[in-house]
Structure 1
Amino acid sequence: MYLTWLDSNSWLLEIGGKRILIDPWLVGSLIFSNLDWLFKGSRPQERPIPENIDLILLSQGLEDHTHPPTLKQLDRTIKVIASPSAAKVVKQLGYTQVTTLAHGETFTLDELEIKATPGSPIGPTLVENGYLLKELESGLTVYYEPHGYHSPQVKQAAPVDVVITPFVDMTLPLLGPIIQGKNSILELAKSLQPQIILPTAAGGDVIFEGLLMKLVQTKGSAEELRTLLEKNNISTKVMEPTPGDRIELPLEKRALAT
């Protein structure tokens, strides 16, 4: 299994013989509703568009997960698995093979199974998707949730080999947490028993500007997480990949359930 972190929430995951592009933001700026004074993300140079993509996986319909300028650069015939809100965006962009996954639903592509789990709440009524990606032959499983909101349903998948989720809390005064990685990560590690945890949503080469970034309070770090896991006798390895580097994850195959 190989992973390439492409900054922010964007990943290239190679699993089950497939190349999965997750929540890609690779070109242009990241701006919500054209309000660049409120929030703007940029990077010194654009990421190259990965080749030979078998599937695009989208967890949310917001621009930092379903980024229109990037999606316009990709082949519209690539298969897409998406939350209901993200599916609306890619259909409007002309994608022709879009599968919408509601919570609990699964999609199988050859030796890869993808299951949608309840993820991040967006507003008072919308709950977006997290995903469990399972290599059927080996049983190796990856869990991805980009804001640190983990449904109790995810515990049923334990053990999970790789977890991709935030390590940090990001909070706005009066509005509360945007990302709640620090507050949720220990319980997640206890329940899923992952071999490896990797961070998402923060760090990398991205430069964030605007009024929101002046107000956001951030707490937590990879080193704090390592200390926390050690104190709780949890052997999970915390990895911090360098953006753009393709890494082979040092995983041990576990016995498949019978």
Structure 2
Amino acid sequence: MYLTWFDSNSWLLEIANKKIFIDPWLVGPLVFGNQAWLFKGEKRSPRPAPPNIDLIVLSQGLEDHAHPPTLKILDKTIPVVGSPSAAKVAQELGFTQVRALEHGSTYFLDNQVEIKAVPGSPLGPTTVENGYLFRELETNFKAYYEPHGYHDKSLQQEAPIDVVITPIIDLALPLIGPIIKGTKSALQIAEWVKPQVMLPTAAGGDVNYEGVLVSLLKAVGTLEDFRSLLARHNLSTRVLNPTPGERFEVPLEKQPVSVA
């Protein structure tokens, strides 16, 4: 299994020799609702699209997950799997193979990778977006992605999960509290599914951020703090700190097969 982090929530997952682009952001600014005064992110170095993408996976319909400027430059024949709101964005931008995945539903990529949608981040009173569980059918290696730190209890039934990509520090607003759930939520999922490796997402990467919201956001915790927390709870999970744009192999050991 290989991963490349493209800043923020954007990842290229290579599993079973398939390239899965998760929440891609490559070019253009990241702005919500054209309100650049409130929040704006700009990459210091725009990145080219990875070649030979087999699937695009979108967790949410918001701009930091279904990023319109990036989706516009990608090949519209690439299949897309997304939450219902994200699938709608992809369809409106001209993608020709779009599958909206409800919670608990699965999608099979060339009978080599199973992708299961699980409940993720709540948006408003009625909408819960997607997290995803990726399983390599030949080896049974599993990777899980949820970008805001909301983890459904059903994931306990999927344990062990080898790789978890989720925030591990909190991003909080004064008087409101965390808008990105890191430390406690990340510890909880680590205890539930006993991952071999965890990787932080929703961190900045090689990006300049500005705007009123950015000036108010406060990061709480560090990677070293979280590593220490895992050790205090007798968890052997390794926490990796990827470099934006650099492809790396995830160090995994084959899980023992239980015999009934």
Corresponding residue for residue 241 of structure 1: 242
Write out per-residue CA displacement over residues 33-85 of structure 1, whole angstroms, 9 at most, x where no aligned residue: 10000000012110111110000000000000000000000000101010000
Corresponding residue for residue 68 of structure 1: 68
Matched positions, count: 258
Q: Which amino acid aligns with 2:108?
A: T
Measure the CA separation in 2 of the matches of 1:163 and 1:257. Answer: 22
1:125, CA displacement in angstroms? Answer: 1.3
Does the aligned pair in 1 maintain the 2:45–2:206 contact within 8 Å?
no
1:173-188 pair list within 5 angstroms: 173-188=174-189
1:64-213 pair list within 5 angstroms: 64-109=64-109, 110-213=111-214
Identity in percent: 61
Q: Name stretches of at least 5 consecutive residues in structure 2 with no aligned partner.
A: none
1:257, CA displacement in angstroms? Answer: 5.6
Instruction: Give the alignment's TM-score, normalised by structure 1.
Output: 0.98
Are 1:12 and 2:12 matched, yes or no? yes
Are 1:24 and 2:24 matched, yes or no? yes
Instruction: Give the alignment's TM-score, normalised by structure 2.
Output: 0.97
Measure the CA separation in 2 of the matches of 1:123 and 1:182. Answer: 23
Q: Which amino acid aligns with 2:177?
A: G
Measure the CA separation in 1 of the matches of 2:216 and 2:45. Answer: 26
Measure the CA separation in 2 of the matches of 1:256 and 1:5. Answer: 31
1:220, CA displacement in angstroms? Answer: 1.4
Measure the CA separation in 1 of the matches of 2:204 and 2:36. Answer: 20
Aligned alpha-carbon RMSD (Å): 1.0
Write out per-residue CA displacement over residues 142-164 of structure 1, whole angstroms, 9 at most, x where no aligned residue: 00000000010111110000000
Q: Which amino acid aligns with 1:112?
A: V
Corresponding residue for residue 40 of structure 2: 40
Does the aligned pair in 2 maintain the 1:139–1:256 contact within 8 Å?
no
Q: Does the residue aligned with 1:208 lie in a helix, a strand or coil?
A: strand
Measure the CA separation in 1 of the matches of 2:16 and 2:258. Answer: 18
Measure the CA separation in 1 of the matches of 2:146 and 2:138. Answer: 23
Q: Name stretches of at least 5 consecutive residues in structure 1 with no aligned partner.
A: none
1:244, CA displacement in angstroms? Answer: 0.7
Write out per-residue CA displacement over residues 131-187 of structure 1, whole angstroms, 9 at most, x where no aligned residue: 000000000000000000001011111000000000111122344321001121111
Q: Does the residue aligned with 2:226 lie in a helix, a strand or coil?
A: helix
Q: Does the residue aligned with 2:30 lie in a helix, a strand or coil?
A: coil
Q: Does the residue aligned with 1:138 lie in a helix, a strand or coil?
A: coil
Are 1:251 and 2:252 matched, yes or no? yes
Measure the CA separation in 1 of the matches of 2:64 and 2:190. Answer: 26
Measure the CA separation in 2 of the matches of 1:73 and 1:144. Answer: 24
Measure the CA separation in 2 of the matches of 1:177 and 1:102. Answer: 26
Q: Which amino acid aligns with 1:211?
A: V
Q: Does the residue aligned with 1:103 lie in a helix, a strand or coil?
A: coil
Does the aligned pair in 2 maintain the 1:168–1:219 contact within 8 Å?
yes
